[in-house]
Amino acid sequence: DGGITQSPKYLFRKEGQNVTLSCEQNLNHDAMYWYRQDPGQGLRLIYYSQIVNDFQKGDIAEGYSVSREKKESFPLTVTSAQKNPTAFYLCASTGLRATGGYTFGSGTRLTVV
Amino acid sequence: ILNVEQSPQSLHVQEGDSTNFTCSFPSSNFYALHWYRWETAKSPEALFVMTLNGDEKKKGRISATLNTKEGYSYLYIKGSQPEDSATYLCAFITGYSTLTFGKGTMLLVSP
């Protein structure tokens, strides 16, 4: 079955460490996105990519980095520069016109300990 | 940053009740309006993608309408069932932006 796989489901990070969240899709979608959810807030866009080897900052990109070396993969690195990284992270993908809506992964909950 | 407002924030209804939610968005530069259902411990699932003013879409007991001139969309659930319990998200996109989400409406349907 086609879909998006995010791993790990839960991640614990010590302060000062970088961590990388994985997102893989087998839907042949061109565009991929990373969102962050905090309590009481809507999903906020961190980074997105519409084509391999190209990506754009979203509304809250500071302290994060991404790469898009393959169409299927869009990993997100949470760096030590991110001041408040504890959150739920969702990856999504879509065809370029998004006529069918976005397809989401099941998310990664990151906790800083 | 574009602003998408959803109301109510949460709703608790009894099984069999019909209910509706509102999504308000900027009416300028409209491209599309999305509705998603997000059940606990699952991924958000696309319900509707709406692009035309006056559009009405239906999926089983759930339907949605769109008014792009005044900047709002309604989501209706007829005869709510416990399995309808979820957070319903709307999201708006212009021709030059990515999807901007509202905070969602959390629906709880009691048997």
| pLDDT for position A76 | 98
Q: How far is B17 from chain A (nearest CA, A)?
A: 26
Kind of pairing, strands B56-59 and B105-110?
unpaired
- B82 secondary structure, DSSP code: G
Rounded Cα distance, A111 and A86, in Å: 5
Separation in Å, CA B15 to CA A45, B7, B26, B60, B94: 35, 20, 34, 16, 37
> What phi and psi values does residue B84 have, to the nearest 5 degrees?
-80, -10
Rounded Cα distance, A73 and A87, in Å: 21
| pLDDT for position B32 | 92
Which residues of chain A have a CB within 8 Å of the CB of B44? 90, 102, 104
Q: What is the pLDDT of residues A26-57, one digit of tens each?
A: 999 999 999 999 988 889 999 999 999 999 99
Name residues of chain B where pLDDT drops below 70. 1, 95-97
Question: Tokens 């980095």 identify what position?
Answer: A65
To test the contact with chain A by mutation, choose from B99, B103, B105, B106 the residue with the greatest count of A C-beta atoms within 10 A, namely B99
Q: What is the pLDDT of residues A73-113, one digit of tens each?
A: 999 999 988 889 999 999 999 987 777 899 999 999 999 98
**Are B99 and A45 an interchain contact pair (Cβ–Cβ within 8 Å)?**
yes
| pLDDT for position A96 | 72
**Are A101 and B49 an interchain contact pair (Cβ–Cβ within 8 Å)?**
yes
Partner residues linked to B14 by β-bridges: B110
Rounded Cα distance, B54 and B65, in Å: 7
**Are A98 and B49 an interchain contact pair (Cβ–Cβ within 8 Å)?**
yes
To test the contact with chain B by mutation, choose from A104, A106, A108, A109 the residue with the greatest count of B C-beta atoms within 10 A, namely A104
| pLDDT for position B29 | 82
